[in-house]
Structure formats: structure tokens, C-alpha cells
Amino acid sequence: MQDVTGLPFMKVIASRGAPDFFFTEFFRVHSNSRLNEEILRSITENTSGRPVVAQLIGENLIDLTRTVKDLSKYPIFGIDLNLGCPAPRVYKKNVGGGLLRNPDKIDSILRRLREEFGGSLSVKMRYGFEDDRNFDRILSILKSRKVDMVSLHARTVLGGYRTKPEYGYVKKASSFLECPVFLNGNVQTHEEAFELVNSTGASGAMIGRAAIRNPWIFRQIREQTTNAKVFNPKLKDVFEYVSELYEMLKNSNANESNTVARIKKFLNFVGLSIDQEGKFLFYMRRAKNRKELFFVFEEFLLEKGKGECFFSNRPFEGLLARPSCES
């Protein structure tokens, strides 16, 4: 997720149960682009032991070729082409989700990427831009270009994050493609991930927002899959999570106010699971420095929340802040 799931968040997640794969924030690819140093850190300084896939967003073949050659110098597991970002400022440039309107362009990009890169080639996509008119054609392209993995967000680009996911498209892709297909879109709990993967025939689930709200979700999925006791975090565990995340973010921000502003992007997703009335969100959003912010943490997570469970299955509805793209 752009501007959210960088190296600091990867490290915090890894200590609570890492996913099988990490995908970087997307590297923007255009005529003047160079590899973003901060995103590169999530590859070069990732000590989780998990494979890291470099995500690209762009459409010019020359620029994509140059970027792939540059990335090949680093220990990446694969290259992932973003065909799913629903931000208008992105799709209006005919990149991200905008490319779903042009299957022939997708075909030429994947052909070039396959020629230039010998590692895993994957795609993250939605099932269409405004409808499913190109879905079957794009699936055939993915199959012919021998894509190694597909993450399918079960909404259209114009559907954003608020429309109801249509997981039947994941089932169709899973039965048609020979590569693993990962279900994506509004998977909020380990129970939902388990049930949806089984019902669609997907190979797994790609999770973004729910992992910000509940960094134990990958651990919980593994525990449910193996019939082990599923970890149930308490609010004190959430205090440790947000405190560690603050320290991680602080390392890349010299200015305290910048760190406070940055962590609020994460806390917007955590807030309703702490306090459904919205008081945590109200006071958190008004904190101007570390002292004020940690006063809110201590009040809601250590004082009022002594021994209470963290309600990680509460819905996302009501959240005001959204990242530019979900991964």
C-alpha cells in the first residue's frame, strides 16, 4: 500500500508473523524516474527472510525495461505489474488500473517484462475498469505470457474500496489460470481469508488494510489452517504494536511532527477496533507531538483497556483516510 507499507511496517509485521511474500510499494516508472531509495530499503534491508517482490506502475516499454534492469541488481524475488490502483490521478495517466482499458498494451508490457526478467513475473489487478468487458481477454493474456502469480482484487477500478467485492471473478481466474491466484479485496479477518480461499479455489489471500489494523493476521491464518489455537490480541498488545511502529517510523523522520503525521495513516485503520465510538480516533487525530500521542495510547490501551481484547474483526466502514492504492 503506497506510502504505508514500507520497510518500517514490514519489520513490525515480520515480528508478529510475516506473510509468505512481501510486495513493495510501487516504483513509479516514467521517462525521468529513478529507483526510489526509500522503497529500495524494503528490499535491501528486509531481514524477515521472506521473498520480496518489486511492484512497478507505468506503461512505457523503454522506461519499464530500464527500471527492470536497475532492479535486477538487487535481491528481488520478482517483478509485479500494478494493474489495480484506483486513484484517479493514477488511472488518468493510463497506468495502474487505467491499463485495464487497454488489453493490447498489457500484452506488450508483459511480453517485454518476460523478455527482460528471468525471475517471477506477477500481476496485481482488478477484474475491470468499470465493468468486466476485458476480463476474459486479460486472463488469456496472463496465461499466454506465462505469468507466475496473479493477485485479483474483486472490484472494478471505479468501484474503489467501497463497493461489494465480487469473488466469483477470483473463482473464475483460479480455474482458468495455471499459476497461483491470490484473492484480494476487503478480506478483514483470518476467518474470512480461510473461508474465501476455500470457496473460490484461490491459492491464498493478499491482505493490505487488515494487516495494518491487525498485524497478527498472517499468524492467525496459519494457526487456523493448522487447527492450532488462534492468537487473540489484547489492547496491551496493540500498545506494543503502535509504540514499536512509532519508533520504526521515527528512524526515517528527523522531525517529530512528521513522525506523528505519518503514524496517523496507520492509526486510522486501527482506531475503530480500539474504540467503536470513535473517541480514540478523535483524540489521536488532534495529537500534535509524541507526548500528546502517547497520552492517547496509554489512556485507551493501558488504562481503559486493561485486559480487554482487541476487536480486530470490526469493519472498515467509517474510516475517513485511505491509502492511494491497496496492495
CA 196, CA 198: separation in Å to the nearest integer? 5
Residues 195 and 284 in one domain: no
Same domain? For 132 and 251 the reply is: no
- 320 pLDDT tier (thresholds 50, 70, 90): very low
Q: Where does a domain end: 206, 225, 255? A: 206
The answer to whether residues 122 and 199 belong to one domain is: yes
Instruction: Identify whether 12 is part of a domain.
Output: no
Domains: count for the chain: 2
**Do residues 192 and 291 both lie within one domain?**
no
Report yes or no: 326 and 1 within 8 Å, Cβ to Cβ: yes
**Are 125 and 258 members of one domain?**
no
- The answer to whether position 294 is within a domain reads yes
CATH number at residue 198: 3.20.20.70
Q: Output the 3-class SS for 139-161.
A: HHHHHHCCCCEEEEEEEECCCCC
User: Is 183 a domain residue?
Assistant: yes
Note the pLDDT tens digit of each residue in 110-164: 999 999 999 999 999 999 999 999 999 999 999 999 999 999 999 999 999 989 9
Give the domain extent around 163.
20-206
pLDDT value of residue 316: 46
Q: What is the pLDDT of residues 35-55, one digit of tens each?
A: 999 999 999 999 999 999 999
Reported as a single tens digit per residue, the pLDDT across 72-116 is 999 999 999 999 999 999 999 999 999 999 999 999 999 999 999
- Whether residues 186 and 259 share a domain: the answer is no
What is the chain's mean pLDDT, rounded?
92
The pLDDT tens digits for 250-279 are 976 668 999 999 999 999 999 988 888 899
For residues 68 and 161, membership in a common domain is answered with yes
